Amino acid sequence: MAIRFDKATARVGAYVTGVDLRKELSDAEIATIYQGLLDHGVVFFRGQHITDEEHLRFALRFGTLSVPPLKARKDTGDPVADSVHVLNQTSPKGEGGDNWHADNTFMPHPPMGSMLRAITLPPVGGDTLWASAYAAYDDLSPQLKDLAENLVGIHDITPGAMKAIAKGHALDLERLRRDWPPVEHPVVRVHAETGRKLLYVNRSSVTRLKGLSPWENEALLPLLCDQVRHPEFQVRLTWEPGTMAFWDNRAVQHYAVPDYTERREMHRVTVDFARGFTD
């Protein structure tokens, strides 16, 4: 059966069929899936009741393992257990996923993408949304595009770390600040592989726009960050056990809806490679 992509919305997201992630995929199949990711920003696989070993094997076909700085680094001696991040909650902890963001943009070279797989789900709630950063840029007025293309965002680990600490996570804030000082990223970036421009700014990490006064930041930063909130740029996934989402962290932002009160267990692997942006 050939691999097929069916659009989930007009501008972002697609459902993938013709793939069994329990199997070792060929290089051609991996290339097809990756092209679908580039085309759609995020792709969804249904009915993939796979092991963590199979999840990790699939992820590493696309890059090297990336460990998020705000997640506790495991060292159990089991390479699979140490590589697959488990989110197992009976209620959302408000750690930052419930805000539009791309992952770890406070890093000089943020990760390429993530694969998130549903294990156990509440009867209702716990959906995830993704928004196209391409569409967010494309729909700006020409005047605002010109302005945005000359702006630089200051991305800082501090807001996310402080939020996690407030929720009870044992993080060394001073060490994180030393290891991850603020970085600058252009507000408009060019994807290295698609060549498309995208809006690269979010409320989770961007603390200010370089060179602007406080009142200019107060007016302009929320306007740019909130551009992804338009429903026409978004796709919403209602999870099922065995569903996997694979997103291009360069091209989309995502939002985890914190509306559940029963157990939700998700397994995640984040990957990276050298080709990010051409700016």
CA distance 203 to 201: 7
| Residue recorded with tokens 């999870």 | 239
CA distance 111 to 125: 27
Residues 134 and 197: beta-carbon distance below 8 Å: yes
pLDDT at 69: 81
pLDDT at 254: 98
Q: Please name the CATH architecture into which domain 133-227 falls.
A: 4-Layer Sandwich (3.60)
pLDDT at 274: 67
CA distance 133 to 189: 10
pLDDT at 74: 63
Residues 188 and 150: beta-carbon distance below 8 Å: no
> CATH 3.60.130.10 residue ranges in the chain?
4-121+238-272, 133-227
Alpha carbons within 13 angstroms on the beta-carbon side of residue 228 total: 25
pLDDT at 81: 78
Q: Find, among 46, 48, 14, the residue nearest to 32 by Cα.
A: 14
pLDDT at 83: 85
Q: Please give the structure tokens belonging to residue 29.
A: 């199949």
Assign a CATH topology to domain 4-121+238-272. Answer: Double-stranded beta-helix (3.60.130)
pLDDT along the chain (279 residues), means of 10: 96 98 98 98 99 97 88 68 84 67 95 97 96 99 98 94 78 88 98 98 96 98 97 98 98 96 95 82
DSSP sequence for 105-168: TTSSS--SEEEEEEEE--SS---EEEEEHHHHHHTS-HHHHHHHTT-EEEE-SHHHHHHHHHTT
Residue 57: partners with Cβ closer than 8 Å, 6 or more residues away: 24
Residues 15 and 245: beta-carbon distance below 8 Å: no
Q: Find, among 35, 33, 14, the residue nearest to 235 by Cα.
A: 14
